[in-house]
Structures are given as C-alpha cells and as structure tokens.
C-alpha cells in the first residue's frame, strides 16, 4: 500500500496518519518558521508564523492535519513576506532591545527575524511598560519581552505539574501572570530546573546570573540559522512521537 | 569630480558607535574616497547639508527638538536616507527611558544624582528641549534603507555602500543581519 503523501513546495513528503503538516514537514527535513510551536507540547496556534498555503488557503501548519494529496506551499516570497510582517508586529509590541538582552544570539524571535531578512520593525513602537518580576532569587521575568507563545504556561501545567503561569487580560492588555496569591514568582514553587523556566523562546524568562556567559560567535544562532537548529532539535522529537 | 557620490552623516541620539563602525572599513575608506565625497558630517567641517546630497546616513534616535530639525534637514537634502544602527531603527537602548516619565528622568539626572551640587534642571534657551519619548527616525521622516546592528558591522556598511556605488539595489545577506 502506498503511504499517504503531501506535496511541500512541489516535493512529495510521506507522513504518518495523525501528523500535522508541521510534523510531517519537520520529519522530512522541511523548516516551517514557528515560535509558539514546540513539538514537545500540544500546538497553540498563536504566533501564526507557520502559516502555509494548503490547496490555496492559508492555514497554520502546527494545527492543520496532513491529508493525502494536499498541495502545501511553504518557502514562497509571499508567505515569507507575511511572516516578516508578523515578526515586525511582535517586535513593536514589546521592548525588544537586543543590544542589552541576555538572550541575544540565543533567541528564537531574533533568529526568526534574521532568517526572514528583517532589517527594521516598520510599525510605530508601543514601548509598553509591563511589570518586571525580579522577586524570585534565581529566575527573572521580564514581561516587556514576552510574545505570549504560552510555552511556559503549557510546560508548567503539563510537564512540571505546577501551573505557575497563565495569560490574563484581553487584546493588547493581555499579559503573562503568575499564579500565586501575591502574583510574584517568589511565591510559587518554580525552580531553575523546571521545563517552564527553560522553554521560553525569547528573553522573558531568564535564569539569573547566567547572562552573557557565551562569547559572541559561539551563541546558538551565531553558529546555525534557526532553520538548521530547529530541525536538528525537533526532528528526533517528532520521530519519537510518531515513530 | 562633480559625479562623485555625496555622502552626509549625522549622529542624533546616538553614541557615535555607528560612525566608529563606519571607520572600521579601515583602508577601504581610501577606495571610498575615490567615488564619494563627504558633505555635512561629524567627520567634516560642513555645517549644513548641500543642495543635493546623494546619501544621508543617520545614526541615533530622535530624543530632542534639535534632532528633529537636523533629521528634517537631512530628509530634505538627501536623495537616499538611511537609518544606521539600532537607535535610528527602533530608538535603541536610549528608548529604555520611554516607559519612564521625562520629569522622573531629569530629576534622577540633575536633582537626585549622587554628588550633585547646586541641583537644578538646565533651562537655558540655548539647550534643545527633550521630547517626552525617544523615537526611531522612521516615526519622523520617511526612511529608504535600514542597516541593523548595535553597531552595524563595517561589512554591513561596506556592502551597502558598494551596492549603492555600483548602482545595485542594496540588500544584506542573511549572515550580516544582526541586531546586537
């Protein structure tokens, strides 16, 4: 029996029943830009960077199931321009001042912007002033860099079993909150070894006293594009899940 | 020599680091001098932009009234205006003051700072007033190109100038795009 197949940018990709387009692409070595998606967790569908054209319609690759015969467009000028605009929107919404950020060079948002050839943020900046939480002795929460991917929310709830984070508020007033009576990280059981502490793709959740440890040139995205790094990290996870 | 590319440069709310990075092109500046001539710039004694400048390189964001005047002069006289470096592109680290009230900033600097004698906020009319926020230059004038980096590397600036001098549409290869 022939295996079910989709076309990604004209190339045939076989997949396992139940896989999303993102999973099928990752397993086959195709990089689809993404920030809120991490194959260790249930898809979230919030960043919209993985938007692909499926049979002519825009869909989020992380949530859309692969089905036999689909024609998927991924690496096209139009989709990459759309993704660049989305990335620009993420940059103006927060205070992404990379020159002073400890995550610079190891940041997935920044690396995605590099990958998409973004040279400026195009839109007027919001310059938000959200509450900085430095209450925890070992962990810092800088909400001005949060992109609401909710990976920390999912990791804390589903992996650590601590349910430390949540996203509250509506629209542009959405914010990452901490589930403790005081609303402070210090009053939660979060630890530096928790998945929630380490899964943040940007510089919003940082482990204190470890900034600027890696020399420029040796940081993750100094050495690899996010496409290379992402495939290398995620392919085994997808393989393990769908074998 | 009339057909040499005329280049003006300025630093608004900048640190002069982008100009230093420009000078990091090292001996390539001799090749540049063959094809370009400097108009108004911190590197020359020209006080105002000439009538027709081909290229204006602007470092720094816009933090005070005088910055606005200078930036408008550059836009008026420069055919191609370039935001050079993180500050010109997104306000840069000086924009860290944006979420803080201007009054609080002045108070911290001139009234409550350590070792200040005779504390007072400078108010001479000669001094340009600060804007309440630091702005990227594209929020004040139209910008043609952006050279990211804090600072952009000499190779970024060189690649851009080479493309322009050769009449090519400037574009940066992926490995030259950095924001830090």
Cis before B151? omega within 30: yes
The residue written with tokens 């002519």 in the block is: A56
Best residue of B62, B89, B90, B94 to probe chain A, by most A CBs closer than 10 Å: B90
pLDDT band at residue A2 using 50, 70 and 90 as cut-offs: confident
- According to DSSP, the residues that pair with B127 across neighbouring strands are none
Q: What are phi and psi of A203, to 5 degrees?
A: -95, 30
pLDDT > 60? residue A170: yes
Mean pLDDT of A98-122: 97
CA distance B97 to B87: 13
Contact A99 B136 (CB under 8 A): no
pLDDT band at residue B2 using 50, 70 and 90 as cut-offs: low
pLDDT band at residue B1 using 50, 70 and 90 as cut-offs: very low
Contact B83 A110 (CB under 8 A): no
Q: Closest approach of chain B CAs to the CA of A71, in angstroms?
A: 28
Instruction: Give pLDDT tens digits for B111-164.
Output: 998 999 999 999 999 999 999 999 999 999 999 999 999 999 999 999 999 999
Q: Closest approach of chain A CAs to the CA of B157, in angstroms?
A: 13
- According to DSSP, the residues that pair with B76 across neighbouring strands are none
CA distance B65 to A57: 49
**Interface membership of A2 toward B (CB under 8 Å):** no
The residue written with tokens 């209450």 in the block is: A135
On whether the CB atoms of residues B80 and B164 are closer than 8 A, the answer is yes
Number of H helices, E strands in chain A: 7, 10
From residue A98, give the alpha-carbon distance in Å to each of B87, B153, B167. 11, 15, 32
ipTM: 0.93
CB atoms within 10 A of CB A7: 13
**What pLDDT is attached to residue B177?**
97
CA distance A99 to B86: 8
Q: Which residues of A touch B133 (CB under 8 A)?
A: 127
Q: What is this structure's pTM?
A: 0.95
Structure tokens at B145: 């190109």
Mean pLDDT of B162-174: 94
On whether the CB atoms of residues A125 and A13 are closer than 8 A, the answer is no
Of B95, B98, B146, the CB nearest to A119: B146
pLDDT band at residue A243 using 50, 70 and 90 as cut-offs: low
pLDDT > 60? residue B25: yes
**What pLDDT is attached to residue A241?**
87
pLDDT > 50? residue B19: yes
**Interface membership of A181 toward B (CB under 8 Å):** no
Instruction: Give pLDDT tens digits for B37-96.
Output: 999 999 999 999 999 999 999 999 999 999 999 999 999 999 999 999 999 999 999 999
Contact B177 A114 (CB under 8 A): yes
Contact B98 A127 (CB under 8 A): yes
């Amino acid at each position: 029996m022939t295996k079910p197949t989709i076309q990604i940018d004209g190339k045939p990709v076989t997949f396992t029943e139940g896989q999303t387009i993102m999973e099928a692409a990752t397993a086959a070595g195709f990089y689809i830009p993404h920030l809120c998606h991490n194959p260790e967790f249930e898809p979230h569908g919030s960043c919209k960077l993985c938007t692909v054209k499926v049979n002519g319609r825009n869909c989020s690759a992380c949530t859309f199931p692969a089905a036999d015969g689909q024609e998927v467009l991924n690496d096209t000028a139009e989709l990459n321009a759309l993704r660049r605009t989305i990335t620009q929107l993420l940059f103006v919404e927060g205070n992404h001042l990379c020159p002073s950020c400890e995550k610079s060079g190891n940041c997935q948002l920044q690396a995605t912007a590099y990958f998409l050839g973004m040279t400026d943020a195009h839109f007027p900046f919001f310059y938000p002033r959200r509450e900085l939480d430095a209450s925890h002795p070992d962990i810092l929460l800088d909400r001005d860099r949060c992109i609401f991917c909710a990976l920390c929310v999912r990791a804390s709830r589903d992996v650590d079993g601590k349910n430390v984070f949540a996203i509250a508020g509506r629209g542009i007033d959405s914010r990452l909150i901490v589930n403790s009576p005081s609303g402070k990280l210090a009053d939660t059981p979060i630890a530096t070894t928790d998945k929630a502490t380490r899964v943040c793709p940007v510089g919003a959740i940082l482990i204190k006293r470890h900034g600027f440890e890696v020399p420029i040139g040796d940081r993750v995205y100094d050495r690899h594009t996010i496409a290379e790094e992402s495939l290398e990290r995620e392919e085994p996870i997808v393989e393990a899940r769908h074998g | 020599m009339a057909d040499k590319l005329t280049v003006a440069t300025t630093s608004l709310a900048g640190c002069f680091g982008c100009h230093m990075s420009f000078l990091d092109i090292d001996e390539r500046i001799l090749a540049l001098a063959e094809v370009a001539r400097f108009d108004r710039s911190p590197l020359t004694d020209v006080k105002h932009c000439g009538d027709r400048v081909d290229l204006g390189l602007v470092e720094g964001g816009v933090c005070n009234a005088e910055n606005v005047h200078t930036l408008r002069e550059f836009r008026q006289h420069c055919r191609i205006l370039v935001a050079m470096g993180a500050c010109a592109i997104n306000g840069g680290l000086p924009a860290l003051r944006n979420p803080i009230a201007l009054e609080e900033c002045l108070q911290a600097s001139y009234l409550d700072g350590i070792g200040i004698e005779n504390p007072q906020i400078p108010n001479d009319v000669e001094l340009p007033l600060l804007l309440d926020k630091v702005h990227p230059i594209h929020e004040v004038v139209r910008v043609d190109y952006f050279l990211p980096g804090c600072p952009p590397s000499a190779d970024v600036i060189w690649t851009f100038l080479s493309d322009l001098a050769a009449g090519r549409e400037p574009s940066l290869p992926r490995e030259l795009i950095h924001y830090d």
